[in-house]
Amino acid sequence: MILLEPREQPSRLLAVLSPVVAIALMLFAGAIMLAAMGQPPLQALYVYFFQPVHELWFYLVRPEERAMWIYTPSEVLVKAIPLALIGAGLTICFRANVWNIGAAGQYTLGAIFGGAAALYGPEGSPWLTLPLYLAAGAFGGLLWAAIPALLRTRFNANEILVSLMLTYVATLLLDWLVRGPWKSPTSFGFPVSADFTDSYLLPVLVQGTRLHLGLILAIVIAVALALMMARTLRGFRVRVIGAAPRAGAFAGFSQSGTIWFVLLLSGGLAGLAGAIEVSATIGKLQPEISASYGFTAIIVAFLGRLNPAGALLGALILAISYIGGENAQILLKLPKNVTGIFQGMLLFFLLACDTLIRYRIRWTSASAGAA
């Protein structure tokens, strides 16, 4: 039998370094996997993780060649934006010990609600239409997250299952919309909506790239949430309810109120991310809108040590793995799923590190276990 025993004094240094250890372990295990796939492991790892970093470095140290190297940094940031937005919201949810696993569904609903605004809303100054569009997206995600919140607080239904299953409902809903009522008449039968008009497209920040306004929103929101967690009673309430619900009740904090708050907040941010992503990188609705960001953001939240500002860093690391995955598809002809395997290994090693820093494993014989 395996027993996990709490360590008397878990190392604080290791607790901080846990993501670094997890990344190292992921690279090591990844090298073995790549070798098993017949790739020279070091070279393949270079393509995956170090080439994007390398290109970032060139961008920074060679100002005269920036135009040449701007693609990788800007694309890393573009991928990091939705991850950071969703991840920052999830850190707060997880801190409250509420496990919203369905951010992908809330992201999709955000895209749908934003899409409804873009397809049927008024034309006009982007100063009016974009806030409307973003608010609609956030509202869609919030509404989708309200379902697990209601079922959890009313019937004590497990929010993990409810939010996860609603992801599939959301995907099918989007699919039906773009194949049915919202299908563009000029799409030649493809399941896509009409293109969004310029009033509903997020402005690009740097000419020649896809880097968009979402970057600023993501940074502002993550920093604001970090401030909320550290300095306000509302953030304190979330931490207390997550750490000890009984003590929360003693403090007069409502547990169901907190569950509602964190689910609506994380759902709203996932919806916002969905709306932003669709507007900035696709410009219309279609069945595939990269909703899997909603799952990857779970890794972002843990990599960011469940701190909203840390999620910014976590998002950057995961974004690099996406870009590396694209490179590997082109250069090494490796399947796209390898990226997912790397991300899964990262979460696995991260959770294992966090657990083993606080607990030690003890093997006991079955008879002693019964004692």
Partner 1 sequence: MDTPAGQTALFEARDVSKLFGTFAANDKVSLVVQRGEKHALLGENGAGKSTLVKMMYGVMQPTSGQFFWRSQQVTIPKPAAAREMGIGMVFQHFSVFDALNVAENIALALPPQSMRGLSDSIAEVSEAYGLAIDPERAVHTLSVGEKQRVEIIRCLLQSPQLLIMDEPTSVLTPQETQILFSTLNKLAEDGCAILYISHKLEEVKTLCDTATILRHGKLVAHCDPGKSSAREMAELMVGDNIANLARNGATQPGDARLEITDLTLPADGDFGTALDRISLKVHAGEIVGIAGIAGEGQPELMDALTGERLAGTPATIRMDGAPLGRAGPTDRRAAGAAFVPEERNGHAAISDLTLSENVILAHHTAEGVAGGGWIDFGKAADWTRRIREAFDVRAGDENPAAGSLSGGNLQKFVVGREILRKPGVLIVSQPTWGVDAGAAAVIRQALIDLAWDGAAVLVISQDLEEVFAICDRIAVIYHGTLSSAKPAAEMTAETVGLLMAGGTLAEDAA
Residue 363, number of CB atoms within 10 A of its CB: 9
Binding mask 135-154 for partner 1 (x = CB under 8 A): --------------------
In this chain, which of 1, 3, 172, 368 binds partner 1, going by CB under 8 A?
Answer: 368
Q: From the CB of 252, what's the least distance to partner 1, in Å?
A: 4
Number of residues engaging partner 1 in binding (CB under 8 A): 22
Instruction: Looking at residues 3 to 62 of the shown chain, list those that interact with partner 1 (rule: CB under 8 A).
Output: 8-9
CB neighbours of 306 closer than 8 A, spacing ≥ 6?
91, 94, 95
Q: Are 59 and 70 in contact (CB under 8 A)?
A: yes
Q: From the CB of 168, what's the least distance to partner 1, in Å?
A: 35
* Strand partners of residue 362: 3
Q: Are 104 and 294 in contact (CB under 8 A)?
A: yes
Interaction of residue 366 with partner 1, rule CB under 8 A? no
Would you say 127 or 363 has its CB closer to partner 1? 363
Rounded CA separation 265/334 (Å): 37
3-class DSSP string for 6-63: ECCCCCHHHHHHHHHHHHHHHHHHHHHHHHHCCCCHHHHHHHHHHHHHHHHHHHHHCH
For 265, how many CA atoms within 13 A lie in the half-sphere containing its CB?
27
Q: From the CB of 6, what's the least distance to partner 1, in Å?
A: 11
Instruction: Looking at residues 263 to 302 of the shown chain, list those that interact with partner 1 (rule: CB under 8 A).
Output: none
> In terms of Cα–Cα distance, which of 118, 113, 164, 122 is closest to 141?
113
Residue 123, number of CB atoms within 10 A of its CB: 10
**Which residue type is seen at 129?**
T
Rounded CA separation 340/318 (Å): 10
Q: From the CB of 239, what's the least distance to partner 1, in Å?
A: 8
Q: From the CB of 16, what's the least distance to partner 1, in Å?
A: 16
Would you say 168 or 250 has its CB closer to partner 1? 250
Q: From the CB of 9, what's the least distance to partner 1, in Å?
A: 8
Would you say 176 or 250 has its CB closer to partner 1? 250
Return the structure tokens found at 275.
């709306």
Q: From the CB of 78, what's the least distance to partner 1, in Å?
A: 35
Would you say 42 or 233 has its CB closer to partner 1? 233
Would you say 68 or 244 has its CB closer to partner 1? 244
Instruction: Looking at residues 208 to 267 of the shown chain, list those that interact with partner 1 (rule: CB under 8 A).
Output: 231-234, 236, 239-240, 243-244, 246-247, 249-252, 254
> In terms of Cα–Cα distance, which of 281, 262, 285, 336 is closest to 81?
281
Instruction: Looking at residues 79 to 138 of the shown chain, list those that interact with partner 1 (rule: CB under 8 A).
Output: none
Rounded CA separation 125/108 (Å): 26
Would you say 15 or 42 has its CB closer to partner 1? 15
Would you say 246 or 333 has its CB closer to partner 1? 246
Rounded CA separation 291/164 (Å): 13
Would you say 113 or 261 has its CB closer to partner 1? 261
Q: From the CB of 216, what's the least distance to partner 1, in Å?
A: 25
Residues forming the site for partner 1 (CB under 8 A): 8-9, 231-234, 236, 239-240, 243-244, 246-247, 249-252, 254, 367-368, 370-371
